A and B are shown apart, each in its own frame.
Chain A
Amino acid sequence: MGRFVARRLLQMIPVFIGTTLLIFLMVYSLPGDPVKAMFGSKAADPATVVRLRHEYGLDKPLIQQYWDYISGLFQGDFGQSFTGRPVADLMADAFPVTIRLALFAFAIELVFGIGLGVLTGLRRGKFLDQAVLIFTLIVVSIPVFVLGNMAQFVVGVKWKLVTPTVQDPQDLTQLTLPAIVLALLSLAYVTRLTRTTVAENLRADYVRTAVAKGLPRRRVVGVHLMRNSLIPVVTFLGTDLGVLMGGAIVTEGIFNVPGVGNTLYQAVITSEGPTVVGVVTVLVLVYLVSSLVVDLLYAVLDPRIRYA
């Protein structure tokens, strides 16, 4: 187990370097000059452009810029954004908001997704099953920006049940609507996944054995069935948490949530290399760690899997 974790941690290093290099090259090859763009429609003053380029290190060769960036990174320096603020500060603003939103959405997914999944899995073909099935299909087939804008307009503007946008990201009630929109898609997926595995495992020999042993239904379902059915669901949830942390570019935009997705989108649009690379660097770490945790969770859930 320990060796497995150690090996995985070692493997993260090349992946980490590769991903940051990839995104670095991509962002810096974007068309449009971010320094000249600072001048708006006015002609850019050449002397000032030269100074600013130097200040942001844009006058160096690309590979050296990357090297400077990575070596700064190991000293805990994420560089400076074109707004003049340290990227670390930008991230310190955005990540807590997104983490709160992500956990909220995740909780909704977990409770409703697994709950509905188990219910429908146990009652395959019944009315509830069909209703939930249709609901999940509809949710899954609507693009999120349509869903988000509709929800904002109907719930926020028409019915005035919640504030249409997030005014104060500290306030959980304001995060409710974005969290629901964010959770809906994955919720539909978790429901269907749980339903399928529960239905499959319901016919498994060990369940039949457990029932034959005369165990109460609650114990059969709660312990024997659930433990086995949850493996694929946990996998999905594990990767999904990473995705949620990555910030929901569209949802955060619609609801004006000052989180990672919004920051990232603005940065891409304005070719703010340092910010994009910084945020993605953290996201890669989150992804790497969460996939490690997921793999470790298998071992907990499925005794057949043991890591040497």
Chain B
Amino acid sequence: MRGAKSAKWVVGAIVVAMAATACGGGSSNDDEGNAAVDPNGVFSYYNTEPQRGLIPTNTNEVGGHYMMANMFRGLVTFDINNKLQMAQAQSVDTTDNQHFTVKLKPGWKFHNGETVTANSFVKAWNWAANAKNAQLNSSWYEAIKGYEDVHPKEGDPKTDTMSGLKVVNDNEFTIELARPVSTFKERLYYDAFFPLPEAFYKDPKAFGEHPIGNGPYKMEGSWAHKVELKVRKFADYKGDDKPKNGGIDFKFYSKDDAAYADLLSDKIDIMYQVPNSQVSKFQSDLGKRAISQPYGGNTNIAFPLYDKEWGKPEKVKVRQGLSMAIDRETIAKTALSGSKDAATGFTPKGIPGWQDGACGEFCKFDPAKAKDLIKQGGGVPGNKVTITYNADGANKEWVDAVCNDIRQNAGVECVTDAKSTFQEARDLITDKKLSNPFRMAWVMDFPNIANFVTEQFRTGAGANDMGFSDKSVDALMDKADEAKTEDAANKGYFEAEKKIMQDQMPAIPLFTDHTVAGYSKRVQNVKIDYQRQAVWTEVEVKK
């Protein structure tokens, strides 16, 4: 899992494409001509060994997600143009964002021949939400009415079913939420909302080794742990996106450098993430088979506002000063070889609702002003900046560069503090044990500015690691939540983003991420979406 731990969590993962315009990027690299295609050809895909058994409701990291995404189809899906599409669902209707009616396309089958019905969904969600089954994705059902009954904060569940889910008939069920959630329909895309066949409940553990889904590919043979997992075209698949290839061999690597070496010698066909160390050369290595496009994630340095020193009101100026001491453009171009872009706010460019300049002058490189601001703010606590990060992700390059900039341009001693593992760093951060700045990153759950602003900066939000709280910012976000039109909402969130940055700057926005991918000479028509996954069914294998 080394290499890019940070980016590999499918954090929320309704992630797909962003703006339609940006999406051309994936396919702009036309293949060298159009070779004859073998409709039954199999290609190989770089992956990491899934960390747990392959159960959709328990899969929250990309290693397992990529398999799930091929073997299952949820109610809805996103297409490459970032449009929400119906998949297994005929329709998902709501008038108030609280009561939903789901109608299924009839006749879909699981890989074992079992028919997919409304119960396949409802039963699966009830099972996974049940605290007794301790599923990692259980919090995804939080919004559904009756969730507390099956998943109380402490003790055993009172009942086995959530009152908000009702089966109407084989092809129809209703969902009632505890409160309106405007993005609930988008959320249904996630793995947690996949259907499960009856065979699952007999032996979940065995199912995890050999999942049975309703997706375009079914598993073949058994899972060769740490080596590979094979999926093949499912003949009975009823969806529109029928595979144009025969199947996929997911190859598991523990080091992305090793995988890249294989890509260069055509031993592996698609690699969705070229290691940082190779980014400077990969265009010349792969020519037209190189893909570089924006990705819906960002990289920041956050401050512990719960700390006595950093929490002082005048330290705003210090944080803004530090921000101005960093020459983002140069770092992105040189030390990072263009694998990230300089940020002008928390929201990456191209995300719906994005506007330039949320950060204003505070993200511009200006050493003189930087020193001045730091002085006005009474200097850095302890007169030394320590930046904590996890060394098992591809972070060292940018952290080193940022630290060097702070030391040389702001005249403040800066050292980096590499924790060897993600979990070690994560523990310190979530337990609020740090009294120094730390790496903070966000990968979008779904393509909207709201996701970048509210999840990390609302008072008490789940990913608000800084202990940041500002009533006027909260008010701006609440107002945006209630806005009638998407446009008005987006403008509201942007106002909030701007206010966070200009008034408080609890975190310094640094970079927005890139997808850097490549494929072999054996395949063509490879498009990568914003979740760094290929559009698998579209990949064509040359004869």
Question: Residue on A with the closest CB to B51?
Answer: A83
Assembled-state Cα–Cα distance A167/B60 (Å):
26
Query: Does B83 lie at the interface of the complex (its beta carbon under 8 Å from any beta carbon of A)?
Result: no
Residues in chain A near residue B10, CB distance under 8 A: 40
The residue that B463 contacts in the complex, of A43, A94, A256, with Cβ under 8 A, is: A43
Query: A93 within 8 Å of B by Cβ?
Result: yes
B25 close to A (CB within 8 Å): no
Within 8 A of B (CB), among A14-46: 30-34, 36-46
Tell me if B441 is interfacial: C-beta within 8 Å of chain A.
Answer: yes
Answer whether A156 and B261 are a contact pair too, CB < 8 Å, given A42-B139, A262-B226: yes
A93-B225 CB under 8 A given contacts A83-B51, A83-B52, A165-B253:
yes
If A42-B463, A45-B138, A47-B131 touch, does A253 touch B254 (CB 8 Å cutoff)? yes
Please give the number of chain B residues whose Cβ is less than 8 angstroms from any Cβ of chain A in the complex: 56
B226 partner residues in chain A, CB cutoff 8 A: 93-94, 258, 262-263
Question: Which of A33, A44, A255, A265 meets B258, CB within 8 Å?
Answer: A255
Q: Which of B305-313, B316-324, B343-351, B423-431 contacts A (4 or more CB under 8 A)?
A: B423-431
Contacting residue for B262 out of A36, A48, A84, A164, CB 8 A? A164
Asked whether B53 lies within 8 Å of A83 as measured between CB atoms, the reply is yes
Contact B1 A167 (CB under 8 A): no
**B227 an interface residue at 8 Å Cβ cutoff?**
yes
A274 contacts partner chain B, Cβ-Cβ < 8 Å: no
Q: Say whether A47 contacts B261, CB under 8 Å.
A: no
Interface residues of B in 291-329 (CB under 8 A from A): none
Q: Is the CB of B267 within 8 A of A163?
A: yes
Binding-face segment, B151-159, B363-371, B405-413, B471-479: B151-159
- In the assembled complex, the Cα of A255 lies from the Cα of B254 at a distance in Å of 9
Q: Which of B1, B12, B205, B264 has the largest count of A CB atoms less than 10 A from its CB?
A: B264
Q: Please measure, in the bound complex, the distance between the C-alpha atom of A256 and the C-alpha atom of B259, giving whole angstroms.
A: 8
Which B residues are in CB contact (< 8 Å) with A79? Answer: none
Asked if A42 meets B60 with Cβ closer than 8 Å, knowing A32-B426, A163-B265, the reply is yes
| CB neighbours of B262 from chain A (8 A) | 163-165, 167
With A36-B427, A40-B61, A163-B267 as contacts: A48 and B131 at CB distance below 8 Å: yes
A85 within 8 A of partner (CB): yes
Task: Provide the residues of chain B in CB contact with A43, threshold 8 Å.
Answer: 430, 462-463
Q: Is B422 positioned at the interface, with any CB of A under 8 Å from its CB? A: yes
- B306 → chain A closest CB, angstroms: 16
Q: How many residues from A make CB contacts under 8 Å with B?
A: 54
Is B392 located at the chain interface by the 8 A CB criterion?
Answer: yes
How far apart sit A165 and B2, CA to CA, in the bound complex (Å)?
17
Contacts of B251 in A (CB 8 A): 167
Give the A-B contact count at a CB cut-off of 8 A: 148
Shortest distance from the beta carbon of A74 to any chain B beta carbon, whole Å: 24
How far, in Å, is B260 (CB) from chain A's closest CB?
A: 9
Please state if A90 and B225 are interface contacts (CB–CB under 8 Å): yes
Q: With CB as the reference atom, state the residue of chain B lying closest to A255.
A: B258
A39 touches which one: B60, B252, B420 (CB < 8 A)?
B60
Nearest CB in chain B to that of A256: its residue: B258
Contact A46–B153 (Cβ < 8 Å): yes
A156–B265 CA distance with the chains assembled, in angstroms: 8
Q: CB distance A152 to B153 under 8 Å? A: no
Contact A165 B261 (CB under 8 A): yes
Asked if A266 and B430 make an inter-chain contact with CB atoms under 8 angstroms apart, the answer reads: no
A51 on the interface (CB 8 Å rule)? yes
- Does B163 make an interface contact (CB < 8 A)? no
Q: How near does chain B come to A7, taking the closest CB pair, in angstroms?
A: 40
Q: In the complex the two chains form, is B52's CB within 8 Å of A164's CB? A: no
| Chain B residues whose C-beta falls within 8 Å of the C-beta of A256 in the assembled complex | 253-255, 258-259
B132 interfacial contact with A, CB 8 Å: yes
B134 interfacial by beta-carbon distance below 8 Å = yes
Contact of A32 among B153, B421, B441 (CB under 8 A): B421
Chain A residues lying within 8 Å of B483, measured Cβ to Cβ, are: none
**Chain A residues whose C-beta falls within 8 Å of the C-beta of B392 in the assembled complex:** 269
Cβ contacts under 8 Å, B153 to chain A: 46-47
Contacts of B258 in A (CB 8 A): 152, 164-165, 254-256
Q: A47-B153, A51-B131, A269-B1 are in contact. Are A36 and B426 (CB under 8 A)?
A: yes
Out of B152, B205, B421, name the residue touching A269 (CB < 8 Å). B421
User: In chain B, residues 162-190, which have Cβ atoms closer than 8 Å to a Cβ of chain A?
Assistant: none
Asked if B426 and A41 sit within 8 Å, CB to CB, the answer is: yes
A271 with B423, Cβ < 8 A, contacts A40-B61, A51-B134, A83-B53 known: yes
CA distance A51 to B157 in the complex (A): 12
Contact yes or no, B421 A164, CB < 8 A: no
Q: Among the interface residues A34, A156, A269, which one has the most CB atoms of the partner chain B within 10 A?
A: A269
**Any B CB within 8 A of the CB of A290:** no
Q: A157 interface residue, CB < 8 Å from B?
A: yes
Query: A115–B52 Cα gap in the complex (Å)?
Result: 48
* A48 pairs with B135, CB closer than 8 A: yes
Instruction: List residues of B (24-63) whose CB comes within 8 Å of A's CBs.
Output: 50-53, 60-61
**Is B208 part of the contact surface with A, judged by Cβ < 8 Å?**
yes
Q: Which residues on B sit within 8 Å (CB–CB) of A253? A: 254-255
- Whether B463 lies near A40 (C-beta < 8 A) is no
Residues of A within 8 A of B335 (CB): none
State whether A165 touches B259 (Cβ < 8 A). yes
Chain B residues with CB under 8 A of A235: none
Is the beta-carbon distance between B267 and A167 smaller than 8 angstroms? yes
Which residue of chain A has the shortest Cβ distance to B442 in the bound complex?
A41
Scan B436-479; emit 1 where CB is below 8 A from any A CB, else 0.
00000111000000000000000000110000000000000000
Chain B residues whose CB sits within 8 angstroms of the CB of A227 once the complex forms:
none
Query: From residue 207 to 266 of chain B, which have CB atoms closer than 8 A to chain A?
Result: 208, 225-227, 251-255, 257-259, 261-262, 264-265
A133 neighbours in B (Cβ, 8 Å): none
Who on chain B is nearest to A34 by CB?
A: B423
Q: A44 CA to B423 CA in the complex, in Å?
A: 12
Interface presence of A242 (CB below 8 A): no
Cβ–Cβ < 8 Å partners of B267 in chain A: 163-165, 167
Closest to B225 in A: A93
Q: Are B11 and A42 in contact (CB under 8 A)?
A: yes
Contact B208 A48 (CB under 8 A): no
Given the complex, which residues of B lie within 8 Å of A45, measured CB to CB? 138-139
- By a CB distance below 8 angstroms, the chain A residues around B422 are 37
Residue of chain B at shortest CB distance from A48: B134
Q: List chain A residues, Cβ under 8 A from B201.
A: none
Interface residues of B in 127-144 (CB under 8 A from A): 131-132, 134-136, 138-139
| Contact between B423 and A33, CB atoms less than 8 A apart | yes
The answer to whether B254 and A37 touch across the interface, beta carbons within 8 angstroms, is: no
C-beta contact mask, B1-29 vs A, less than 8 Å → 1, else 0? 11000100111100000000000000000
Interface centre among B152, B259, B261, B267 (most CB of A within 10 A): B261
Docked Cα-Cα span, A93 to B252, in Å, equals 14
- Report Cα–Cα, A30/B462, bound state, in Å: 25
6 A-B contact pairs sorted by A residue (CB < 8 Å):
A31-B427, A33-B427, A38-B51, A157-B264, A163-B262, A256-B258
Additional A-B contact list (18), CB under 8 Å, known A55-B134, A164-B267: A31-B424, A32-B423, A42-B60, A42-B139, A43-B462, A45-B138, A46-B153, A48-B136, A48-B138, A82-B52, A89-B225, A156-B261, A164-B264, A265-B254, A269-B2, A269-B421, A270-B1, A271-B423
Interface residues of A (CB under 8 A from B): 30-34, 36-48, 50-52, 55, 82-85, 89-90, 93-94, 149, 152-153, 156-157, 160, 163-165, 167-169, 253-256, 258, 262-263, 265-266, 269-271
- Which 3 A-B residue pairs are closest in the complex by CB-CB distance? A37-B423, A40-B9, A164-B261
Question: B residues touching A (Cβ–Cβ < 8 Å)?
Answer: 1-2, 6, 9-12, 50-53, 60-61, 131-132, 134-136, 138-139, 151-154, 205, 208, 225-227, 251-255, 257-259, 261-262, 264-265, 267, 392, 420-424, 426-427, 430, 441-443, 462-463
